[in-house]
Every structure is written in C-alpha cells, then in structure tokens.
Amino acid sequence: MTVINSLVANDLYVDYVVKKESISALKGVSFHVKRGELLVILGPSGCGKTTLLKTIAGLLPIRKGSMELDGIDATTLAVKDRNLAYVSQSFTTYRFYTVYRNIATPLKAARVPLDEIDRRVHEAARKLDIEYLLSRKPSELSGGQQQKVAIAKALVKHPSIYLFDEPFSNLDFKTKTALREEIKRIHHDDDATMVFVTHDLNDALALADRVLVMEEGKIVKEGEAREIVFSLQDEVGLHPLEEGKE
Ligand code: ADP
Ligand code: MG
C-alpha cells in the first residue's frame, strides 16, 4: 500500500524582519505528515512552533524551500485555497456572536448554503457535546467550553489538516485531559490528519502517533512518543511529566 502524505515540507526557511534586521525563525525545516496521522511537534517556547504552523496555513511567506499539500505544490498557495483549520492557544471567539454563529463563521465565509451550515454546526457541536451551549455568548462559557467552541469551528470546515497551536495552555489539568480525549476521538473517528505543537511532554504522550522535536528553528529528533519524551524530560523549557498536581 502506498502511503499518502497530507503535507510535505522541504527545507523551509522563514524570516521576520524587525527594524530592517532579519530574524531567522525557521532554518531548513523538512518533514512530512501522513494522511490520517496525528503528528506532535514538541519544543520550548521560541523555537518556531507557531511560525511553522502559520507557514503551513499560508500566513507567512517562505523565503526558501517548498511545501506540498495533498500532493500539490502549495508553496505560494493562497490561505483561502488551503482547506486547513488552525486552533490557537488563545480563545479566538467573537464576543458578540452566539456560539452557533461563532462555529458557523468559516462556513458563512465560504458561502456554504444555510441548511448545510445548520447541519454541520449541529454535527460538530454534538461531537464535542456542546449542543446545549449553542445559543450562549462566549462570555457565558468556561475556558474549556470556549476551547471546545474553537475546536468545533475547526471541525465544521472538514479540513484536510487540523493545526493545533498549544490549544490547552490556558486550561486546568482536568479540562486539558478531557480535551485531549476529544481530539483523540475526532482523530480516530474521522481519520483526521493533525499537527499538534506543544511544549508539554504530556500532550505528546497522550496524543502522538509520532513526535518531532524542534529547537531553534530546526527539527532535531524524530521518533515514537515514549522514547522521545523520556529522552527529553529533563530539558529546560519543556513542561515536565508530573501532571495533575497544579
Ligand atoms: P514558539 O511558537 O515555538 O514559541 P515562535 O514561532 O512564536 O515560537 O517564534 C520563533 C522565533 O521567531 C522567536 O525567536 C520569536 O521571537 C520570533 N518571532 C515570532 N514572531 C515574530 C514576529 N512577529 N516578529 C519578529 N520575530 C518574531
Ligand atoms: Mg507559539
């Protein structure tokens, strides 16, 4: 059986220019994500995780290197032409919209017919067990519920890849554990392709099919979750393994 790659990154270089000075944030990053795989990229703060996800999403230009999505050259493809969903670490809901309208936003933007929007919003809300929250405003939700809304907003798009940028950073242990299970369930039930970046070793252990380790704009290690996590547990800048004690 041939393995199909959802994403191939070839030697990516991405820079930021600040006051005419160039800061190199990705320094030759190469990796692939197989279709249906949940890849965790683990690395300390500042190593380039967000830059990498934004580059995949098409939000940052690539200085050198190339990228393929589902076998098609996507190096300069417009954001709207990549069917990707980005779930960020901060809650990115619209305060004045109901939960329903928040979840429906990406579909409205894509001009999906209203009955189809309704069907997909309810389907996503049901999967995350938040149907009873659809008429509330985000301010009437807990942090965990808000993050579920953000995940539902990704789900409705039926994206070819989910990009998770440390989505549990602001959540307590219990909520984090529950949401990891939700993400695993979606990954499993929908055969979804996911890239999850984090500095939390426990995310890698709980979620990953495979782990890449990132340091200073480069991928430095690749392997199976347990083996990688135990080799890294004393590294500075990574969330240690004891959990549930906070
Ligand atoms: P991470 O998500 O792993 O914490 P980032 O991708 O946010 O790392 O940052 C990688 C590097 O790029 C850091 O050195 C950071 O300071 C720098 N950087 C990130 N965003 C910007 C920006 N908008 N302008 C200039 N430098 C940035
Ligand atoms: Mg980041």
Dump pLDDT digits (tens) for 157-183: 999 999 999 998 878 888 899 899 999
In Å, what is the CA distance from 140 to each residue of 96, 100, 101, 167, 177? 11, 13, 15, 20, 22
Beta-bridged to residue 39, according to DSSP, are: 195, 210
Each residue's pLDDT tens digit, 182-233:
999 999 999 999 999 999 999 999 999 999 999 999 999 999 999 999 999 8
Average pLDDT, the chain: 92
16 C-alpha to center of ligand 2: Å? 14
- Say which DSSP state 131 is in: G
> Closest-lying ligand to the alpha carbon of 41?
1
Confidence label for 245 from pLDDT (cuts 50, 70 and 90): low
Q: For residue 61, what pLDDT is reported?
A: 95
Closest ligand 1 atom to residue 214 Cα is: 3
Pocket test for ligand 1, best of 16, 86, 196, 219 (most atoms within 8 A of CB): 16
Of 41-55, 86-100, 103-117, minimum mean pLDDT range: 86-100
Q: For residue 123, report the distance from its CA to the centre of ligand 1, in Å.
A: 36
Structure tokens at 42: 């683990």
- Distance from the Cα of residue 72 to its chain's centroid: 21
Closest ligand, as measured to the CA of 60: 1
pTM value is 0.94
* Assigned CATH class of 1-83+161-246: alpha beta
Residue closest to 124 by CA, chosen among 102, 97, 98, 153: 153
What span, in angstroms and rounded, lies between the C-alpha atoms of 88 and 198? 11
Ligand 1 centroid vs 50 CA: distance in angstroms? 7
Q: Which pLDDT score is estimated for 175?
A: 87
What are the sequence ranges of the domains in the chain?
1-83+161-246, 91-158
